[in-house]
Chain A
Amino acid sequence: MAVIGEQGLSDETLLSDDFIRQLVSVGEVDVLVGIPSRNDRDTIGNVVRAAEESLLRNFRRQRTVLVNVDAGSRDGTPQAAREASLLASNGIESLRTLRWVATNAGSAAGGFGALRAILAAADLLHAKACAVVSASVEGIAPGWIDSLLNPVFTENYDFVAPLYTRHRFDGLLTRNLLYPMGRALFGRSMREMRATEFGFSGRLASDLLNNADWDREGLQSGPETWMAITAMANSFECCQTYLGPRPRSASGAVVDVIRRTVSGFFSCLESTESYWLKGHDPEPLKTIGPDHQLTSEAVRVDRKKLFQLYGTGVAGLSDILRSILAPDTHAELVRLAALDEDAFRFSNSLWVRTIYEFAAAYHHSVIHRDHLVQAFVPIYRGRVHSFLTVHRSDDSEAMEADLEDLCQEFGRQRDFFIERWSTKGEGAS
């Protein structure tokens, strides 16, 4: 391993000697596409081909590089990526150069280590425009890469968030927490704050590498959210761009996803509090292409199970919730759990208050932070149940109207949150 602090990177940035040799042999580039991967043998081929096609078609006169950072795959993902590469298999070259760089960051590095390596590569190669595309994404088209890179390359944006056409019941944590709360605190309407695909400038990469507190708790669990929030909080130029339909992904381990996402988000609030505590008027975020769209094909969801898990969760975690929430908020959650499933509604007002109290309790570390975020899971399930019931037959316009109400509610209770964040309140004693 070698330290490349002399290249303007953070002294703690450790990259393998082999990776540095590959980067040095590339020289400087204009465009970089990073593909973090981990056990994605089935999907990485499409991602690599889409990225290469995009670079060869739209950036023929630029120096470009593909960087695959693998986080310790055990299913042959790096080999599958190489085999899928047009460059490797057909010897195709762009007018100037398209290079391929690959490294193994090790399983301990995870998504955080992979993103850090990509940022380091972007900084070292002095890339002007960069995009990160997860190797696990299905249904990717070359147009996605173009859409992420062009705003940076031609319009000098620093961070490009994606927009998708998604199923109306997908991404409910994003829709109910990340987007509205992010909008209320940072004043920007960034819909997909934790997307695995995004674009960024070399400027932003260098700034993050040199100024970020890389050891900060929570950064490891949500590096994508951290990047988006840091860009907004440091007044970098941000925009969002429509990519296309995002295929429905498997739900995965919901508890684990919530732990990582919520913990990463709350941690980012701590690192950027000097920005959002001041209060900022809403600023429009430029949207390139069409706005996001919702589809409504039928999905099977066990709502009864969600309701049961909410009820047993609120009852079973009563002591823990009491230490996190204000007494009246906790009492309201208990009251809801006693209702019939048909009468159960988790109002926007209660949801916002609960989230804000959780975030403040996380900030004050009223209990171990990972335990606190785990205690949020039953609450989320209750909200999802209510969301599905309320919007069962709603069209996208009605859902958007409700989302707007939710955003307004987050804004209305913002002062309450700031007060709670700044002082240890009830339930957090």
Chain B
Amino acid sequence: MKEMIIHAFQQAHDNFTRMLAEFLPHFLLMVVVILIGWLIAFLLKIILRGILRVTKVEKMSEEAGASRLLRRAELPSMTELLCRAVFWVIWLGFIIVGVSFLGIGSLQQQIAELIALLPQIFVALLILFVGLLAANFFSRAALLAGVNAGLSSPTVVSGVVRTVIVFLALSMALEQVGLGKQTMEIAFSIVFGGLALGLAIAFGLGGRHLAARVLEKHFLREKEKVGHDDELSPL
């Protein structure tokens, strides 16, 4: 009995030692890959930071209004954000590759799926970022045009422009990673259709007096063009 127990323990010990002997090199390999990945990602981050400074990305981001968006969200500057994104994407790639060396079957399948999804996630983030930039730029352009034309609610127009573009970018980004494709399409159709219908009803019912005034003003201006200056020639 005693011998059986000792034998069982010895077998367990042998198994453990064998498994450890098999696992340890893989684990060490994983650690080495992750460390090398960190080093490569760090170096690339430094190189990218230098390139972005030379190409004046920060100035472009400032002009497009992206920097202000980032400041508002208490995020780092555009250069820093891009550098960090590249660092994490590269290091994450190495971490995934490193983990795959452990040889765990089910984990490998999950990792393979995640790796396959990485480019799509990257593209989705890019779409979202460009969308946010475009939303900021066009909403500001709409606000300026509305204010200078003397519209009564320029902020509403600007807000609508921003919302539509952000929503469009979001739906495109989610579609890119394959999330809720149909849901997003339906949601976008409902929101966009609802918006158009809402505007049509608002202008048709609520804005009929405004429409009348606009038309009246237009035709009266045609008649009274001579001698009537709302504003003087600036030059």
Contacts and interface: CB of A to CB of B under 8 A. Distances in A.
Interface stretch (B46-54, B185-193, B204-212, B226-234): B226-234
A365 B230 CA distance: 32
Interface stretch (A91-99, A276-284, A375-383): A375-383
B231 A301 contact: yes
Contacts of A194: 235
Contacts of A309: 148, 150
Give the one of A306, A323, A367, A378 with max B CB within 10 A: A367
Interface in A224-241: none
B144 A301 contact: no
A27 interface: no
Interface string A163-177: 000000111111000
B235 A261 contact: yes
B229 A173 contact: no
Give the one of B63, B143, B155, B232 with max A CB within 10 A: B232
Interface stretch (A48-56, A151-159, A312-320, A393-401): A312-320
A169 B60 CA distance: 39
Nearest to A380: B234
Contact of A305 (B228, B230, B233): B230
Interface residues of A, number: 44
A368 B144 CA distance: 12
A313 B147 CA distance: 6
A380 B148 CA distance: 11
A21 interface: no
A248 B235 CA distance: 10
Interface string B212-235: 000000000000000111111111
Given A320-B144, A365-B63, A299 B232 contact: yes
A251 B230 contact: yes
A343 interface: no
Nearest to B145: A374
Nearest to B59: A365
A371 interface: yes
Interface string B141-167: 101111111100011000000000000
A300 interface: yes
B155 A316 contact: yes
B137 A377 contact: no
B42 to A, nearest CB: 29
A374 B144 contact: yes
B232 A249 contact: no
B137 A308 contact: no
A169 B150 contact: no
A313 B155 CA distance: 11
B62 interface: yes
Contact of B150 (A173, A257, A308, A375): A308
Contacts of B232: 169-170, 172, 251, 299, 301, 384
Give the one of B65, B145, B229, B233 with max A CB within 10 A: B233
Contacts of B84: none
B234 A254 contact: yes
B148 A251 contact: no
A24 interface: no
Contacts of B144: 317, 320, 371, 374-375
Nearest to A171: B235
B235 A371 contact: no
A255 interface: yes
A250 interface: yes
A374 B143 CA distance: 10
B26 interface: no
Contacts of B154: 312, 316
B230 A377 contact: no
B234 A301 contact: no
Contacts of B146: 316
Contacts of A254: 231, 234
A261 B64 CA distance: 22
A368 B63 contact: yes
Interface string B168-187: 00000000000000000000
A258 interface: yes
A369 interface: yes
A255 B148 contact: yes
B234 to A, nearest CB: 4
A366 interface: yes
A237 to B, nearest CB: 25
Interface in A83-116: none
A213 interface: no
Contact of B234 (A261, A302, A374): A261
Contacts of B143: 316-317, 320
A375 B64 CA distance: 15
Contacts of A313: 147-148
A312 B150 contact: yes
Contact of A371 (B140, B227, B231, B233): B140
11 contacts: A251-B234, A254-B234, A255-B148, A258-B234, A300-B227, A300-B229, A312-B150, A320-B140, A377-B148, A378-B147, A384-B231
Interface of A: 169-174, 194, 248-252, 254-255, 257-258, 261, 299-302, 305-306, 308-309, 312-313, 316-317, 320, 323, 365-369, 371, 374-375, 377-378, 380-381, 384
Given A312-B154, A374-B148, 19 more contacts: A171-B235, A174-B234, A194-B235, A255-B149, A257-B234, A301-B229, A302-B231, A305-B150, A309-B148, A316-B147, A323-B68, A367-B63, A367-B140, A371-B141, A374-B145, A375-B144, A377-B148, A380-B234, A384-B231
In the complex, the 4 A-B pairs of residues with the closest C-beta atoms, listed nearest first: A173-B234, A374-B144, A316-B147, A377-B148
